[in-house]
Structure 1
Amino acid sequence: MTSITRNLPWFIKDLGVATVGQKCYVSLVENLNVEDVECLKYSLSKGLGLGIVLGGSIMKVPQLLLIVSAKSARGLSLSAYTLETLSYAITLVYSYRNSFPFSTYGENFFLTLQNILITFLIIHYPASRLTRPRSSSAQRLTLAIALTGVAGFALYSIPPATLSALQLATIPLSLFSKIPQIRQNQRARSTGQLSAFAVISQIVGCLARLFTTAAEVGDLILSAGFALALLLNCVLGVQMWAYWGKDGKEASIPVVVTHTENEKEKIPAAAWQQDGKVEVVVPPASPATPGVRQQPGRRWARKVD
């Protein structure tokens, strides 16, 4: 068997050496030494790390598609995504500037980009089309893009000591980034457009990252951050399970009253929330009179912009 493993095509050998290193490749692949615990542990860490990076490249795509297809960011907290994006960006720059292996932080690159897009979409699609004009959303979006560029340049340029302090600050930052979303879910009794795939992927990713960080980097600051993120993502997972299929508590809806010649029509001011249409049944204007045939209540649908 070793005669085969020692004569594998060059591109397979180069890929293996690049992934686990020359020593572990020779031990595990060429010599089939399955008792080499250190190399087995290191190879498992590398495999998990690459899997997390690949998973991170699509982790938030379902969330993006949910927002775009619904043209709504209902249930998503802008402050939560802003803080989470900043946390991802700090970890990305900190790991890159400390020359950590890409397999230990690569998903942060993709998650930062995806979170930036989600944050922009939350700003672009207002929570209420009745209260926020489109021009206001455009101005806020322009300001968000400018602030993103400034923050990226600042993170890349600051001294290493300051960057280390910022990485330490990602621990409370992770806490504050999840709490607004958790509170919003609890208050609404619904997770809105929050993606179950994204939440579950983050839980699995944090578990795997705890292992890979301990095996390859040994950075206590990174490990503490992943441990806290795992705890908070588990809380989101429990909320996702508890509120699955629920649209949230019925809020009190103001009523707009308009008068016609013979009757009053009551139309919910937030009727646009139900597919843009509302059905209203208008009862007869007066009680039935003997000998006079009454018209039945009129049923009609009104389009509300």
Structure 2
Amino acid sequence: MAERPQLDRGSSFMDPLKGFLLTYFMPELCYDEFFLNFNFLDVPCLKIVLSKALGIGIILGSVMVKLPQILKLIGAKSAEGLSFNSVLLDLLAITGTMAYSIANKFPFSAWGEALFLMMQTVAIGFLIQHYGGRTVRGLLFLVVYFSLLVALLSPVTPMSVVTSMQASNMPAIIISRLIQAATNFRNGHTGQLSAISVFLLFAGSLARIFTSLQETGDSLMALTFVISSTCNGILALQVLYYWNSCPERKKKKKKKRE
């Protein structure tokens, strides 16, 4: 009879993927618990893996989270209903989180989405200016922002400045969302605001509360995402409330009646 192949003591069937798992999902202690001791119910390790998986998922999702908004602006060739001031404050908050995380050497899985959100938010800011007939001002906005970003991420900027910027995220997020919410209320609709982007941002900020506490232990980061989730939730509720009030939908209804 052929003998069954046996794994060496201390080895696991997951060893070919060990490097990948240790790099992105878990420390070696948890790898041993899961795949050597077969203890898949170890709570601390489950929290770590869940946090890492959520973080990576958020980062992957962030690559496209504001893309629907960008495509909606380009498709409509209009930025009606979007507040540039709100975008600026949103950009301030995103940049603060990114700079603070880099300065504190937090793992990329704890803040990586900020990089992609920053690029997309900058694009939205430019499009608002462009479709408002202020293309030159939009280009100036790009030059000024990226110049400031380079300076902020350089060693020349004191850590106290970066920390203060992160602390200012909370009022920046609140004000930016309130400006957009007020714009929606004043217009009686959400205009070109993308429902998909709003809901994705809401879900992402909720998940980030857990991952921030788990991966960084930084209460300032976690509180920022608590505030962000609350404010994003307000916009999500407005999207639902004004769902049938969008000018485009009203036009479609009129055409159907005719």
Distance (Å, rounded) in 2 between the aligned partners of 1:123 and 1:196:
21
**Deviation readout 1:58-81 (Å, 9 max, x if unpaired):** 100111110011111111111001
Instruction: Give the corresponding residue for 2:21.
Output: 16
Instruction: Give the corresponding residue for 2:242.
Output: 243
> How far 1:153 moved relative to its partner?
2.2
**Deviation readout 1:36-70 (Å, 9 max, x if unpaired):** 11111111111111111111111001111100111
* 1:143 counterpart (140, 143, 153): 140
TM superposition outliers: structure 1 runs of 4+ over 4 Å:
2-5
Instruction: Give the corresponding residue for 1:100.
Output: 106
More helix by share: 2
**Deviation readout 1:175-198 (Å, 9 max, x if unpaired):** 111111000000011001111111
Distance (Å, rounded) in 2 between the aligned partners of 1:162 and 1:82:
19
TM-score by length of 1: 0.75
Instruction: Give the corresponding residue for 2:95.
Output: 89
AA at the equivalent of 1:114: Q
Instruction: Give the corresponding residue for 2:201.
Output: 202
> How far 1:15 moved relative to its partner?
0.8
Tell me the matched-pair count. Answer: 238
Distance (Å, rounded) in 2 between the aligned partners of 1:3 and 1:117:
53
Alignment partner of 1:49 is 2:34: no
Instruction: Give the corresponding residue for 2:153.
Output: 156
Instruction: Give the corresponding residue for 2:254.
Output: none
* 1:122 counterpart (121, 128, 132): 128
**Deviation readout 1:215-243 (Å, 9 max, x if unpaired):** 11111111111011111111001100000
Aligned pairs (5 A) from 1:214-225: 214-225=213-224
> How far 1:102 moved relative to its partner?
0.6
Distance (Å, rounded) in 1 between the aligned partners of 2:47 and 2:7:
25
3-state SS in 2 of match to 1:58 = coil
Answer whether contact 1:90 1:155 (CA < 8 A) is retained. no
AA at the equivalent of 2:18: K
More strand by share: 1
AA at the equivalent of 1:172: P
Which stretches in structure 2 are left out of the alignment for 5+ residues? 1-5, 252-258
Q: Work out which structure has the larger RCO, using CA pairs closer than 8 Å and 6 or more positions apart in sequence.
A: 2
> How far 1:152 moved relative to its partner?
0.6
AA at the equivalent of 2:74: V
Answer whether contact 2:126 2:139 (CA < 8 A) is retained. no
Distance (Å, rounded) in 2 between the aligned partners of 1:155 and 1:143:
18
Answer whether contact 2:209 2:226 (CA < 8 A) is retained. yes
Answer whether contact 1:75 1:191 (CA < 8 A) is retained. yes
Instruction: Give the corresponding residue for 2:65.
Output: 59
Percent identity reads 36
